[in-house]
Amino acid sequence: MARRYVIVIPPDMVETCAELKTALAGEDVTVVLDRRRGDRRQLTLARGLDRRRLERREVHPPAAIRRSRGSLA
């Protein structure tokens, strides 16, 4: 199986992007111009109470795993 590559070019390098697309035509390479505009993450304020009803982690592994001396991943 051949590897496929993606090259992401910064938005201020439009000419370089066009040159690479031409130079790498016919290869297993895709050249794209980065369209992101800043960080998408938003500042989050302090969250309220934890909405989980039960603890997600178990203090002790289930009995079947203890008996088989297996492990949890």
Q: Which domain holds residue 9?
A: 1-35
Q: Is residue 64 part of a domain?
A: no
In a domain, 8, yes or no: yes
Cα–Cα distance measured from residue 17 to residue 10, given in angstroms and rounded to the nearest whole number: 9
| In a domain? residue 25 | yes
Which residues, other chains included, contact 31 with Cβ-Cβ below 8 Å and sequence gap of 6+?
6, 7, 9, 17, 20, 21, 24
User: Is residue 61 domain-resident?
Assistant: no
Per-residue pLDDT reduced to its tens digit, 10-21 = 999 999 999 999
Report if residue 17 sits inside a domain: yes
Give the total number of structural domains in the chain.
1
- Predicted confidence (pLDDT) per residue in 5-62, tens digit: 999 999 999 999 999 999 999 899 999 999 988 777 776 666 666 667 666 666 665 6
Quick check: is 12 in a domain?
A: yes
Specify if 73 maps to a domain.
no
Q: Rounded to whole angstroms, how far apart are CA atoms 34 and 6?
A: 11
